[in-house]
């Protein structure tokens, strides 16, 4: 089976679009603010994508330019502004700005990316307002395609705070047995081959070919890499798709992640309206 993220994203979008209309009918206009502190090309590409999605959903979008002197003041203003429902801190930030402190200053209920220490910490307790969107997208994809999770062995290759670590907690909450692997893992290929479900999130193009996976397993490719102008995943799709169920890149987890971000803005709007 080939897992199609575009199909999942479209289903999410239909639901979100209806909820946005319902909010607007009651006089509430969902609003997202992106805090930008550097002129990075990859950040600009991402911002353009977010803006495009917001416009498609009817979500109010704006960028807030900041520097090391006013960044905390600007975030305090966004936190207290009842007409702002989602706040994103764009990465990277200049070296003179301590990213951890900035993330810690964002109101967790407006942290639609699930990146604040408060939300990441509460994820352990199952009480986070939001989880990182990519981690949530992986679980969404597995559930959409009715992949059993309870009691299954899941191996995640990658230990970032945006994918590997939060994803492990989300999967444990689904009663999966989770192993996190990384660059220092001994006999990595053996651990991946033992998995019922493998998630690759290392950022190395086509690192994983068919020899990495056991027949009949499920593979979710989170990697997004650009090679000769083309986007490819961490998985060698052509060889692996002959052996296992696998997600596409492009057209896979990334599309679901973008849709979930928009859904989180609407979720935050509804939560804030209730407080």
Distance, in Å, from the CA atom of 124 to the CA atom of 127, rounded to the nearest integer, reads 8
Task: Name the fold adopted by 27-107.
Answer: Rossmann fold (3.40.50)
* pLDDT value of residue 41: 84
- pTM, rounded to two decimals: 0.95
Alpha helices in 69-216 (DSSP H): 71-80, 99-105, 117-125, 133-144, 164-173, 188-193
Residue range 192-249, pLDDT digits in tens: 999 999 999 999 999 999 999 999 999 999 999 999 989 999 999 999 999 999 999 9
Give percent above pLDDT 70 in the chain: 100
13-68 tens-digit pLDDT: 999 999 999 999 999 999 999 999 988 888 888 999 999 999 999 999 999 999 99
Structure tokens at 82: 């009842």
Q: Is-same-fold flag (27-107; 133-253)?
A: yes
Q: What are phi and psi of 153, to 5 degrees?
A: -90, 120
Write down the domain spans for the chain: 27-107, 133-253
Q: Which CATH superfamily does the domain covering 133-253 fall into?
A: NAD(P)-binding Rossmann-like Domain (3.40.50.720)
Mean pLDDT of all residues in 242-260: 96
Q: Cα dihedral angle (111, 115, 117, 121), rounded to 10 degrees?
A: 100
What is d(CA 166, CA 131) in angstroms, rounded to the nearest whole number? 7
């Amino acid at each position: 089976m080939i897992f199609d993220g575009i199909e999942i994203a479209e289903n999410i979008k239909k639901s979100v679009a209806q909820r946005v209309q319902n909010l607007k009918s009651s006089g509430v206009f969902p609003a997202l603010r992106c805090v930008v502190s550097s002129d990075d090309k990859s950040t600009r590409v991402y911002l353009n994508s977010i803006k495009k999605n917001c416009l498609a959903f009817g979500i109010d979008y704006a960028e807030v330019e900041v520097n090391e002197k006013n960044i905390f003041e600007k975030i305090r203003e966004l936190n207290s502004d009842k007409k702002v429902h989602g706040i994103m801190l764009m990465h990277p930030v200049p070296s003179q700005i301590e990213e951890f402190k900035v993330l810690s200053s964002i109101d967790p209920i407006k942290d639609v990316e699930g990146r604040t220490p408060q939300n990441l910490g509460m994820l352990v307790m199952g009480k986070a307002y939001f989880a990182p969107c990519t981690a949530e997208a992986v679980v969404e994809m597995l559930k959409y395609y009715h992949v059993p999770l309870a009691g299954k062995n899941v191996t995640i290759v990658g230990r970032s705070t945006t994918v590997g670590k939060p994803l492990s907690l989300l999967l444990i909450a689904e009663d999966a047995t989770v192993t996190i692997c990384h660059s220092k893992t001994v006999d990595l290929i053996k651990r991946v081959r033992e998995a019922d479900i493998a998630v690759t999130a290392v950022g190395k193009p086509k690192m994983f070919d068919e020899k990495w996976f056991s027949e009949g397993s499920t593979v979710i490719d989170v990697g997004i890499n650009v090679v000769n102008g083309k986007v490819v995943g961490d998985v060698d799709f052509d060889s692996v798709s002959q052996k296992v169920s696998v997600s596409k890149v492009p057209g896979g987890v990334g599309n679901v992640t973008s849709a979930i971000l928009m859904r989180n803005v609407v979720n935050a709007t509804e939560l804030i309206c209730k407080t």
